[in-house]
Chains A and B, each alone.
Chain A
Amino acid sequence: AQTVTQSQPEMSVQEAETVTLSCTYDTSESDYYLFWYKQPPSRQMILVIRQEAYKQQNATENRFSVNFQKAAKSFSLKISDSQLGDAAMYFCAYRSPNYGGSQGNLIFGKGTKLSVKP
């Protein structure tokens, strides 16, 4: 079974600085999808970024980018020019490409709480 590990329960960053959140996963599959979700104090889960394992290029979305290391099974999230609104819980998630049955479901890490200092 696949597992997702976020080893940093809490992180802190100064406003306008850069921070990197770590995520590792365990799988025997060669094709899969990885996600970072943000959960602000409102508690609604918001998709930040998605990576397809068969694509070598790292995904980017404005100030958010990932460092996807397939061989190392690592998927870190980099937030540049941090803003106060970035303060939230961040969850890493894994999804198998096979749709049907439990393989299509998201497997979440336990999250990293990010604080942004003004």
Chain B
Amino acid sequence: DGGITQSPKYLFRKEGQNVTLSCEQNLNHDAMYWYRQDPGQGLRLIYYSQIVNDFQKGDIAEGYSVSREKKESFPLTVTSAQKNPTAFYLCASSMEGRGGNIQYFGAGTRLSVL
């Protein structure tokens, strides 16, 4: 089945540790996105990528890093510089081109700090 797979579902981070969240899609979409969701805050954009080997910062990129070496994959690293990483993280993808390209979402990863 076509879709977006995020792993792991739950992740725990120790203080000072970097952790990486995985996002893979087999929809052949050009664009991929990472969002952070906090209670009562809605979704906020962390990073996005429209093509391979290119990505841009979103509204809350500090303390995060990404790579886009393959079209299907867009991993997000939460670095030790992110002082409040506890949140729900959602990955999405969409087709490139003009129009209201629909973003399709993965099931999310919940990150907690030990």
Contact = CB atoms under 8 A, between A and B. Distances in A.
B58 A47 contact: no
Contacts of A33: 99-100
Interface string B88-114: 101010001111111111111000000
A97 B98 contact: yes
B64 interface: no
Contacts of A95: 100-101
Given A50-B100, A101-B56, A104-B101, A91 B31 contact: no
Interface residues of A, number: 28
B68 to A, nearest CB: 16
B100 A100 contact: no
Contacts of A35: 100, 102
Interface of A: 9, 32-33, 35, 37, 42-47, 50, 52, 91, 95, 97-102, 104-106, 108-111
